[in-house]
Structure 1
Amino acid sequence: MKTFETLAELAACAGQEVTVTDWYTVTQQHIDQFADATGDHQWIHVDVERAKAGPFGTTIAHGYLTLSMLAGFFDRSVKVKGVRMGINYGLNKVRFMSPVPAGSRLRVRVHLLGTEPIEGGMQIAWQCTIEREGADKPVCVAEPLSRYYV
């Protein structure tokens, strides 16, 4: 967990890698629960038998499941003291670059692109590179925006 005492301390890290998260395993249960929550039951995600004969030899996580996991990765890896709340504000860019087969272990490299003051706090632009253990390229690169309020 990377902890910042103040927003100013966080802002001073602009242009730097802030943290690399611990590895997290994406299970078939996660994939099935995401399918149930979103209604996206495409066979490549949820039909284990059919997916064995598919292009990846197994089921793969939804791209949006992978993206949504950023919230949990942030919660477990970055803390800013002295703020009353933080919110997700949106995304500037997202690319899904390779699949996440069921059972994969993922981690995130969190880079602080920049900050800007907003009324009552600060907006943070991040670059998050989601890596799959043993893969040559990232599974996703995203630029989420956060807002922290004091």
Structure 2
Amino acid sequence: MGKVVIKSFDELEKLVGHDLGISEWHQFTQEQINLFADATIDHQWIHVDAEKAKTESPFGNTIAHGYLTLSILPHLWDQIVDVQNLKMQVNYGIEKLKFNQPVLVNSRVRLCAKVISAVNLRGVTKATIGVKLEIEGNKKSAYDAEVIFLYHFNS
């Protein structure tokens, strides 16, 4: 299935209540987790010490940072939707975020997205998107949230 193309507020508004699609799978490697730990100065052993995690972690392995799983959302979102005719896009907020379960190293995840609402704020489109990060082989998602984007469409 191809990307959903959105070129205006009116096109987005017509999608309210509809599932937009699912991204490709993304695998979290230990290297990516370590690089995120370096970038965020969060070197907690449950993320970066594989040997200790195998013996002392309740998960039996290292896990991706919750915020790492969240930070790939724009990348996965771009696999689902192609928003065109834009002057600018702004990440505006995240509501109702709940981390449901950890993502073990080498797990594959994918994003599912649904349009919750679209509001025209004097020419700026405020889009609220329901997202769920699925973990391959798990019934429970890594997280559920509502992300909010501000789209400044060209007239």
**Alignment: residue pair count:** 150
In the alignment, which of 44, 55, 60 is matched to residue 58 of structure 2? 55
Aligned residue number for residue 133 of structure 1: 136
Percent of paired sites with the same residue: 39
Alignment of 1:104 onto 2:107: yes
2:44 & 2:54 partners in 1: Cα distance? 14
Q: Does 1:38 align with 2:11?
A: no
Q: Structure 2: any 5+ residue segments left out of the alignment?
A: none
Q: Deviations over 1:103-136 (max 9, x none)?
A: 0100011010001112332000011000000001
**Please, what is the CA RMSD of the aligned residues?**
1.1
Deviation at 1:21, TM superposition (A): 0.8
Q: Write the distance in 1 (CA, Å) between the matches of 2:96 and 2:121.
A: 21
Secondary structure of residue in 2 paired with 1:64: helix
What CA distance in whole angstroms lies between the structure 2 residues aligned with 1:120 and 1:76?
A: 26
Residue 79 of structure 1 and its aligned partner are, at CA, apart by 1.2
After TM superposition, give the deviation of residue 67 of structure 1 in Å.
1.0
Alignment partner for residue 79 of structure 2, among 76, 80, 85? 76
* More displaced 10-residue stretch of structure 1: 49-58 or 71-80: 71-80
TM-score, with length taken from structure 2? 0.92
Task: Give, in angstroms, the shift of residue 78 of structure 1.
Answer: 1.1
3-state secondary structure, aligned to 2:86: coil
